[in-house]
Amino acid sequence: NLKLGGLGPDYEAIKEKVKKLKLQKEYSRQIKEYNMKNIAVVQRLPAKPQVSSVCRQKALEYAKKIPRPKTFIPKPSEQEVQELQAGIILPQLPSLESLWNRHEKEREVVAAFEALHIL
């Protein structure tokens, strides 16, 4: 009387696993309820003692009296400013006539492409 493995699922093994999982979930639920009851009974730790307002006032007064560090931003000298301005060369802007001529030429090129049905 040997039972060999089959091709289908083993329903008996699956039922055992499901039963075991249900027992685990039930046990965890019971433990959770027990812990929640015990935690409610245990007293909480005492809160931190309040710092008196006198100490805070003293600290604020001390902070007001401390001199703040001053930031020093050196201004460039006149000679450095002149050197920077001399080193920067602005590009020449094209005149309105040259821009208009360029525009007309490009319009002609586009018109030629449209005549050839390229665009």
Q: Give 17-54 pLDDT, tens digit per residue.
A: 999 999 999 999 999 999 888 876 655 666 666 667 88
Amino acid 67 reads: P
pTM of the model: 0.31
Q: Give the mean model confidence (pLDDT) for residues 2-29.
A: 88
Let me know: does 29 contact 21? Beta carbons within 8 Å.
no
List the domain range (segments joined by +) for residue 18: 10-45
* 39 in a structural domain: yes
* 37 in a structural domain: yes
* 17 in a structural domain: yes
Domain tally for the chain? 1
* 3 in a structural domain: no
* 86 in a structural domain: no
Greatest mean pLDDT among 28-32, 63-67, 114-118? 28-32
The Cα–Cα gap between 55 and 24 comes to 55
DSSP states along 77-113: PHHHHHHHHHH--PPPPPPHHHHHHHHHHHHHHHHHH
